[in-house]
Amino acid sequence: MAQIINGKAVSLAERERITKETEELFSKYGRRPGLAVIIVGEDPASKVYVANKEKGCQEVGFYSELYRLPEDTQMPELLSLIEKLNNDDKINGILCQLPLPKHLNEEEVILAINPNKDVDAFHPVNTGKIMIGNHSFLPCTPAGVMKLIESTGTDISGKECVVIGRSNIVGKPQAMLLLQANGTVTICHSRTKNLKEVTRRADILVVAIGKADFITGDMVKEGAVVIDVGMNRRADGKLTGDVDFESCEKVASYITPVPGGVGPMTITMLLENTLTAFKNTL
């Protein structure tokens, strides 16, 4: 039976460290890290994420600003808000919650954020830096996954690492971070043939597909570390991952639950990035 990786506990320990450092910096410089969060429209999931980000800021003692813009906001308004925040010294991190309403251009929005304040690490300057291993910020979810793997004491070096999913937000940067940790990395996607053959090779399996309970125990190598990034709503409203927990926990050595695994880490890594952005200005 696998040991369960407690994302809440790992996240709490990280937040305690961030809180302590924030207080130390405040007593030395009289300033706090500042995060501005922008949400456009009424997407219910986005509203929950944004509320949790605000709460996270309060918990660790950050200064925060929340901008709720109406659904019909146009690009010039959004870009001028970003420009204002780019030039505001109180703000070290700017986050525009995605997805944006269809009429807005996400790529243009990402490009408008000053890369030094891009705490989501979505700007091409930051994704490029991750590629060459000289990063300021790591994208939040993949960085959280790395902390969770680290918490198991697993040495990634030389291990077979399989990432399922190749999105710009999770799969691709995840593969890059595992590679930088000297893993032997394979990326799978919807066109991968014989997925099961590939996943059964994995010592470390990171799943970010967006399909409920897709990975079953027969697809997992005995003793593998299984990290489930997926967040899917079942018909009864319950949250579930991409990994069928019941069958996989019988085979894996470590496994993350959903909820309570990767989810709590993502916002914590956002706070970590905001702290880094602040420290970069000192």
Active-site residues: which are they?
53, 97, 120
Please pick, from the candidates 5, 110, 164, 177, the single residue that binds ligand NAP as defined by CB under 6 A: 164
Please pick, from the candidates 263, 271, 272, 275, the single residue that binds ligand NAP as defined by CB under 6 A: 263
Angle at 75 between CA 74 and CA 76, to 5 degrees: 95
Please pick, from the candidates 78, 109, 175, 231, the single residue that binds ligand NAP as defined by CB under 6 A: 231
User: Is residue 148 within the footprint of ligand NAP (CB under 6 A)?
Assistant: no
CB 121 within 8 A of CB 140: yes
User: Is residue 175 within the footprint of ligand NAP (CB under 6 A)?
Assistant: no
User: Is residue 255 within the footprint of ligand NAP (CB under 6 A)?
Assistant: no
CB 239 within 8 A of CB 208: no
Burial of 134 (0-12, 13-18, 19+ CB in 10 A): exposed
Please pick, from the candidates 75, 125, 179, 195, the single residue that binds ligand NAP as defined by CB under 6 A: 195
User: Is residue 127 within the footprint of ligand NAP (CB under 6 A)?
Assistant: no
CB count, 10 Å around CB of 127?
19
- The 3 state secondary structure assigned to 168-214 is CCCHHHHHHHHHHCCCEEEEECCCCCCHHHHHCCCCEEEECCCCCCC
Nearer Cβ to ligand NAP (28/191): 191
Please pick, from the candidates 100, 177, 202, 208, the single residue that binds ligand NAP as defined by CB under 6 A: 208
- The length of the chain is 282
> Could you list the residues that contact ligand NAP (CB under 6 A)?
141, 164-167, 169-171, 188-192, 195, 208-211, 229-232, 262-263, 266
